Copies of this chain bind each other. A is one copy, B any other.
Amino acid sequence: MEQRIDRIKKQLHSQSYKLTPQREATVRVLLEHEDDHLSAEEVYMLVKEKYPEIGLATVYRTLELLTELKVVDKINFGDGVSRYDLRQEGADHFHHHLVCLECGAVDEIQEDLLGDVEKVVEKRWNFEIKDHRLTFHGICYRCRT
């Protein structure tokens, strides 16, 4: 945890940003909820517990900054809000998601399943892939009877 924050701190410094207490509190919340997919409002509520004076705008700004630095990914599952998802450290690809139509759960697939597909796309469509988003919608293992 502390080392992870330290590395994010260094990453911020390398672009001459500071790790202010507000930003650190926000990063801690994200780390503590690594498996969730929190909206800005949800992050705000959680950060307030450890840093009650923080403003909503600061949370938005911090999330935007972390997105720029590729510490988090901003994703959208079609409900009205953006959600923020911590990247696996050092992962060169963004993980995939399983959204259950029954119970709404969002599970993650960390494995890179797209290696072969990406080769095909690069070659056949002459497209230089930088990133991807892959989400499956269906029925999760819990909801299958």
Contacts and interface: CB of A to CB of B under 8 A. Distances in A.
A136 interface: yes
Given A74-B78, A134-B132, A121 B139 contact: no
Interface of A: 74, 76, 78, 98, 101, 107, 109, 113-114, 116-118, 120-121, 125-141, 144
Given A113-B121, A121-B109, A128 B138 contact: yes
A137 B141 contact: no
Q: Most chain-B Cβ atoms within 10 A of its Cβ — which of A78, A120, A136?
A: A136
Contact of A136 (B132, B135, B139): B132
Contact of A109 (B98, B125, B135): B125
Given A131-B137, A132-B136, 15 more contacts: A74-B78, A98-B121, A98-B125, A109-B121, A109-B125, A113-B117, A118-B136, A121-B136, A127-B140, A127-B141, A128-B139, A129-B136, A130-B139, A132-B134, A132-B137
